[in-house]
Amino acid sequence: MPNKLVLGGFKELRDELVAFPQTVNRESVPILERYARATQAEVIAAYPIVTGELRAGVKVLQRAARGVATLITLITSAPYAHIFEFGSRRQRPRPTFLPISERGRRQGVVAVADLVKSKGLVVRGAND
Partner 1 sequence: MIDATEVERALIGKLAADPALGAALPDGVYYDVAPIGATKFVIVSLSTSRGLYELNDAETFRAFIYVVKAVALGPAGDTVAAADKRIQELVDRQPLDVTAAGASLMVARWVDRIRYTETANNDVWQHRGARYEIMVTPA
Please say which residue, 14 or 117, places its beta carbon nearer to partner 1.
Answer: 117
**For residues 32-51, which are near partner 1 according to CB under 8 A?**
none
Q: Which of 103, 107, 114, 117 binds partner 1 (CB under 8 A)?
A: 103
Please say which residue, 103 or 119, places its beta carbon nearer to partner 1.
Answer: 103
Please say which residue, 21 or 99, places its beta carbon nearer to partner 1.
Answer: 99
Look at residues 47, 37, 32 and name the one whose alpha carbon lies nearest to residue 107.
Answer: 32
Q: Which of 34, 52, 87, 121 binds partner 1 (CB under 8 A)?
A: 87
